[in-house]
C-alpha cells in the first residue's frame, strides 16, 4: 500500500515541476487540475480500510472540486479575455526550475529531520507536502497574472491537503467537507474578482495594481 502512496506523491512532485516550467495559461490550469485528481487518488491510497465509505466519498469530492470545478471556474473567468495566453513570469522558467529543485532538496532535508508524524505512513509525505506548499508560494510571488496567483494558492492548498491526508487521521468528515466548502467559495469569489479585474483593466496583470500605497501621491 505504501508503494501506491509513494507513486502518487512522486506524481504530485512531477506536476509541480511541470507547472513551474509551463508557459501557457491553459497548460497551467490543466496541470493544477491533474494535481487535484492525484490528490483524490492519494486520499484513496492512504485510506486505512478501503471498505469504509469515508475515503471514497472524500476522494470523490476532492476530484470533483479540484479536478473539475476549479479549473472550469478559472477558465470561465478568463475565457474570451483579451489576455496574452503566456503567463509572463517575473522570474524566468529556467531559474524557476532551478529554484524548484533547490526547494525539493530543502524539503527532503527538512522532512528527514522532523519527527515522523505517523509511523505507518510513507516517509515522503512531509517532504512532498512542504515542497508543494513552497512551489505554490513561489508561483504566487513570481508570476504576473492574477490567475496564476490563484493557481499558486491552489497548489499551496494541495500541499497542505497532502499533509493532512498523509499525516493526520481521524478528522471528522464533516469538518473536512466544511474546509473543502470554504475552498470552493474562495475560488468562486476569486473567480468573480478575476472577472471584474479583467473588465475594469482589460487585463489581469497584477503589476498594474499599484494605485494604493503610502507616501507617493
**Contact call for residues 75 and 150 (beta carbons, < 8 A):** no
Helix ranges, 121-145 (H):
125-142
| Residues 95-134 close enough to bind another protein by CB under 8 A | 114-115, 117-118, 133
| Residues 176-205 close enough to bind another protein by CB under 8 A | 178-179, 181-182, 185-186, 189-190, 192-193, 196-197, 200-201
Binding mask 3-42 vs another protein (x if CB under 8 A, - otherwise)? ----------------------------------------
138 binds another protein (CB under 8 A): no
CB atoms within 10 A of CB 27: 15
160 binds another protein (CB under 8 A): yes
Cell of 79: 475565457
**Contact call for residues 150 and 187 (beta carbons, < 8 A):** yes
**Contact call for residues 129 and 160 (beta carbons, < 8 A):** yes
Query: Please, what sign has the CA dihedral across residues 195, 88, 141, 162?
Result: positive
Question: Residue 76 or 92: which CB sits closer to another protein?
Answer: 76
170 binds another protein (CB under 8 A): yes
Dist. CA 185–CA 179, nearest whole Å? 10
Which residues in this chain contact another protein in the complex, by CB under 8 A? 114-115, 117-118, 133, 137, 140, 146, 149-150, 153, 156-157, 160, 163-164, 167-172, 175, 178-179, 181-182, 185-186, 189-190, 192-193, 196-197, 200-201, 206, 209-212, 214, 217
Amino acid at each position: 500500500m505504501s508503494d501506491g502512496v509513494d507513486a502518487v506523491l512522486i506524481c504530485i512532485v512531477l506536476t509541480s515541476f511541470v507547472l513551474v516550467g509551463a508557459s501557457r495559461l491553459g497548460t497551467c490550469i490543466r496541470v493544477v487540475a491533474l494535481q487535484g485528481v492525484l490528490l483524490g487518488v492519494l486520499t484513496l491510497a492512504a485510506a486505512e480500510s478501503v471498505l469504509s465509505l469515508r475515503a471514497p466519498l472524500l476522494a470523490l469530492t476532492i476530484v470533483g472540486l479540484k479536478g473539475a470545478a476549479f479549473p472550469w471556474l478559472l477558465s470561465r473567468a478568463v475565457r474570451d479575455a483579451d489576455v496574452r495566453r503566456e503567463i509572463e513570469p517575473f522570474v524566468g522558467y529556467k531559474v524557476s526550475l532551478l529554484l524548484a529543485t533547490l526547494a525539493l532538496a530543502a524539503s527532503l532535508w527538512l522532512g528527514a529531520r522532523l519527527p515522523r508524524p505517523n509511523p505507518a505512513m510513507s516517509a515522503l509525505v512531509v517532504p512532498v507536502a512542504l515542497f508543494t506548499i513552497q512551489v505554490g508560494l513561489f508561483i504566487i510571488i513570481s508570476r504576473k497574472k492574477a490567475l496564476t496567483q490563484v493557481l499558486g494558492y491552489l497548489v499551496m492548498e494541495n500541499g497542505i491537503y497532502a499533509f493532512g491526508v498523509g499525516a493526520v487521521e481521524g478528522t471528522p468528515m464533516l469538518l473536512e467537507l466544511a474546509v473543502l466548502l470554504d475552498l470552493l467559495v474562495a475560488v468562486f469569489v476569486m473567480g468573480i474578482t478575476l472577472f471584474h479585474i479583467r473588465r475594469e483593466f482589460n487585463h489581469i496583470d497584477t503589476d498594474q495594481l499599484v494605485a494604493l500605497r503610502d507616501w507617493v501621491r
